[in-house]
Amino acid sequence: MKRLLTLIILVIALALPAALAVDVGTGIGVDITPEEFEPLIWMCDHRIVTDDNVEWGRVSNPGQWLIERKNNYAFEGEQISWLVLVMDKNGIEKIEDVFGTLGDTQGAGNDIEVNCDESSLRPERLPESCNARILEEQLRYFDADTMRFYDCTLTVETVESMYGEYWVTIEVTDLDGLSGTMDENEYWFFNPTIALAIDGELVFEDVRPGTDSYSETLLVGNDADDGSGVMLDMFIAGTDFYDSASSGAKCPTTNQLALTNFRYFATSGAYSTQNDLQIDDPGATGDFDPFTIRNRDAEGYVNIQYGDHFDKSAYDEAEILQGLRTDGVYYNGNVLAPGAEMAITFKLSLPEPCNGNFDTGSLYFFGEAV
């Protein structure tokens, strides 16, 4: 009996330490690294090309939407503007810079040409035109903590710093050196060379006074840079002619052969001066030539306006061809693409009497990029 009691007490003593503990616990380390989010950028509903402040076109005035420009070329002083949305899930304060680039390749890494301005735009809902997405997730609401709008305007500089073909886009970088580029890359020809090519000579020899004489047909073409896409609106004007020698010239009453004795016939594609619209605005202030009323004769030859330069008052006055305007702006047949030509034949109705060698004076051709 004594031995049994001793054994029971011993067992109880061995169990006591576990029962006397108050509590127990342990910990585990946590390592959280947020994603280094590459900033995203989307072009939204504002993308516009505007005219310069020096020489503007048939429709657009300084700083207005350049609606005449149909091809991908631009000249000094003209501007391209975009509204873009930028997002960085690490926080909008992580954005370092938003800028426009020019270069030989699409995407990031081209030369920085212009910085963008942060916009004050803070809409509740994002414009649908932004099509802001992260993979399949459509973003619908503006978040001021992670998003900003920027206005970006690229102005074409002089030919010394901007000439030739470039890829153009908008890029964003953050403080970690990560970058994003908007999907819409554009391809432009800046400051293309524009020129006219004239094939043929205008010579009238041994013309009998009181008769009509016809020249060989000249080709007048658009000789702008290959690949530029420059479209030229074509014009013609001229001066009176004089005898450079002291020869006692007279035609018919003085030593001057008037420009009014010349006419021309032009063809381009489906159009010719045979159906010229003869549009003229006589007497209006600023007209290219308010005294010469545009008209065609029975043969389809059109008279020539006086002028030795081009300015916008030549519109609806001195176009070479005034064909039907299906676009409501430019005369069909009168706009030449690079490499295109129009054929022009001149008629001289020499007065009687007429004497002299009228070798001083000019006929001018002008081409305006549209």
Residue 32: pLDDT band with limits 50, 70, 90: low
Q: Vertex 272, ends 270 and 274: CA angle to 5°?
A: 130
In a domain, residue 16? The reply is no
Q: Please give the pLDDT value at position 25.
A: 75
pLDDT for res 242: 95
Residue 294 tokens read as: 């545009």
Alpha-carbon dihedral of residues 163, 329, 272, 210, nearest 10 degrees? Answer: -90
Amino acid present at 295? N
Given a cut of 50, is residue 181 above it in pLDDT? yes
Say whether both 124 and 228 belong to one domain.
no
Residue 86 sits in the same domain as residue 156: yes
Most confident residue range from 268-282, 286-300, 335-349: 335-349
CA-based nearest residue to 266, from 258, 274, 277: 274
- Computed over every residue of the chain, the mean pLDDT equals 90
Residue where a domain terminates, one of 136, 167, 190? 190
Contacts of 63 (CB under 8 A, 6+ apart): 50, 51, 53
Q: Tell me 55's DSSP state.
A: S
Model confidence at 9: pLDDT above 50: no
What CATH number has the domain bearing residue 152? 2.60.40
CA angle 85/90/91 to nearest 5° reads 60
At 303 the pLDDT is 98
Residues 120 and 207 in one domain: no
| Strand partners of residue 347 | 214, 263
For the segment 204-263, what is each residue's pLDDT rounded down to a tens digit?
Answer: 988 999 999 999 999 999 999 999 999 999 999 999 999 988 778 899 999 999 999 999
Residues 263 and 161 in one domain: no
Residue pair 237/314 in contact by the 8 Å Cβ criterion: yes
Residues 301, 158, single domain; the answer is: no
> Which residue did the predictor score with more confidence, 120 or 55?
120
Residue recorded with tokens 């109880």: 12
pLDDT (average), residues 308-337:
93
How confident is the model over 42-93, as pLDDT tens digits?
Answer: 999 778 999 999 888 888 888 899 988 989 999 999 999 999 999 999 999 9
Range of the domain at 89: 40-190
Judge if 180 and 68 occupy the same domain: yes
